[in-house]
Each structure stands twice: as structure tokens, then as C-alpha cells.
Amino acid sequence: MNFDRRQLLALLPLGFAGAIGFSFWKMLDRMSAGKFDPHDIGSPLVGKKVPAFSLPGLDGGQGIDTATLTAAAAKQPMVVNFFASWCIPCAEEADILGTLGAEGIPLWGIVYEDKPDTAKKYLDKYGNPYQRLALDIEGRVAIDWGVDGVPETFIIDRSGTVRWHKSGPLTDDSVRQELRPALRSVA
């Protein structure tokens, strides 16, 4: 049977729908087998080295780049926190970060899509638990880190590998049940 152009065009929607339908079937199949979980939006970075980046510091302070971060983490595992002054959950986790910082846990902060002066105002108000602060004004570095919304918190081990990740604000529970055990395991 010869197909002319009209017939091929008319087949196009069927082929398109068929491909999508087949993929959905594969997904459902693998979901029920427990091999596929679209809801797990864990960071793709966990288990990988810190991506290459370099950011200027806030207010003339020292910035953060791959080399300084891995060098610092080689001495003691680091906590890296992405935040912004416009973000409410960030303000909510500020107390908890303050406690962690006061305990001497090395905590570096990256300001995400924010202006230096609003970030400074935010730190004046909610306290500054970070030993070092860098500015990611355009959010480019955040993309490399796989950050899809602030706040997000990462733990970097001595080899410069991302070991743990949490998107959304830290809570007392998540610090006790996840962050502290993760820090202990890489100490």
C-alpha cells in the first residue's frame, strides 16, 4: 500500500500519542516495580564532586570557589547553604542555622538571586551564622549545583564530594534526624 503525503500526515498524531502513551506505560511499569520514582527530586549532585564555580564575596569579603571550598572541606566537612533575603522559609530556618554556626560547624552561605544591600539587611536582622558569604546574583552557579529553590543545604565531605542535600528549610527534626547523622558519618 502506497502512502501519500496526506496519509502520512494523518498518521502523525497517532504516532505521537503512541510514543507518549508507551513511555507512560514504561514509567508506570517501573514505578510499580519500585525502580522509578519521579517524586524523588534529590539533588543529582549527591555522590559527585563539587561543580566548578567561582563567586565574589559579599561586601568585599572573601568569595567562594571550588578550590577554597574543597580545601576547607579537606580539614573539616562543610555545610553550604543557599539562601535569599526574599525567601520566607530562609528566614524561618535562620534560627537553626544560627545554632549550627554557634556550635562551630563550618557553614558557608551563597546568596541566591539577590542584591548585596538587601542581603546585608537580611543578615543584620536574622543574624549571620556564615563564616564566609558569596553572591550568586544571577543564580548561574545555583543551576550548576542543581538548586531549584532556596533554601537548599549541602554537606561536602573531605574529598570534596557532595554527601547530603536538603531542599526546603531545615527544621529541628530534620537537623536531628538527618543533618547531624550525615555530618557525623563524614566526620
Partner 1 sequence: MIPELGNFALALAVCLSLAQAIIGIWGAGRRDARMMAATPGLAIGQFIALAAAAGALVWAAVHDDFSVINIAENSSTLKPLLYKITGTWGNHEGSILLWGFILALCGAAVSLAGGNLPTALRSRVLGVLGGTSCGFLLFALLTSNPFLRTWPPTDEGSGMNPLLQDPGLAFHPPILYTGYVGFAVPFAFAVAALIEGRIDAAWGRWVRPWALVSWCFLTCGIALGSWWAYYELGWGGYWFWDPVENASLMPWLTGTALVHSAIVVEKRESLKIWTVLLAIGTFSFSLSGTFLVRSGILNSVHSFANDPARGIFILSLLALLIGGSLVLFALRAPKLSAGGMFAPISREGALILNNIFLCTICAVVVVGTMYPPFADLLLGQKISVGAPFFNATVLPLALPLFAAMAVGPLLPWKRARLWPVVQHAWWAALAAVVVSGFCIIGMKIIPALAFGLSTWIILGSFAEVVERTLLFRTPVASSVRRARGLPAAVLGAALAHAGVGVSIAGLAGSSLSSQTIVSAKVGQTVKADGYDVTLMQLRDENGPNYTSRVATLFVTRNGVPKMLLYPSRRFFTIQKQTTYDVAIHTNFLWDIYAVLGDEHDGQAVLRFHVNILAPWIWLGAGVMALGGAISLADRRLRVGAPARARLAVTA
Residues in the site for partner 1, rule: CB under 8 A?
Answer: 4, 6-7, 9-11, 13-14, 17-18, 20-21, 23-32, 36, 38-44, 86, 88, 91-92, 95, 125, 146, 148-149
Give me the least distance between CB of 76 and partner 1, in Å please: 29
d(CA 87, CA 111): 11
Give me the least distance between CB of 127 and partner 1, in Å please: 12
Closest to partner 1 by CB, 18 or 181:
18
Look up residue 82 and give its three cell numbers.
Answer: 543557599
Give me the least distance between CB of 73 and partner 1, in Å please: 24
Closest to partner 1 by CB, 44 or 61:
44
d(CA 51, CA 65): 9
CB-CB contact of 56 with 135 (8 Å): yes
Closest to partner 1 by CB, 83 or 108:
83
Strand, helix or coil for residue 33:
coil
Closest to partner 1 by CB, 30 or 176:
30
Helical axes 88-102 vs 116-126, angle rounded to 10°: 60
Give me the least distance between CB of 77 and partner 1, in Å please: 24
Task: Tell me the β-bridge partners of 154.
Answer: 80, 165
d(CA 170, CA 139): 21
Give me the least distance between CB of 126 and partner 1, in Å please: 8
> Which residue has cell 550568586?
136
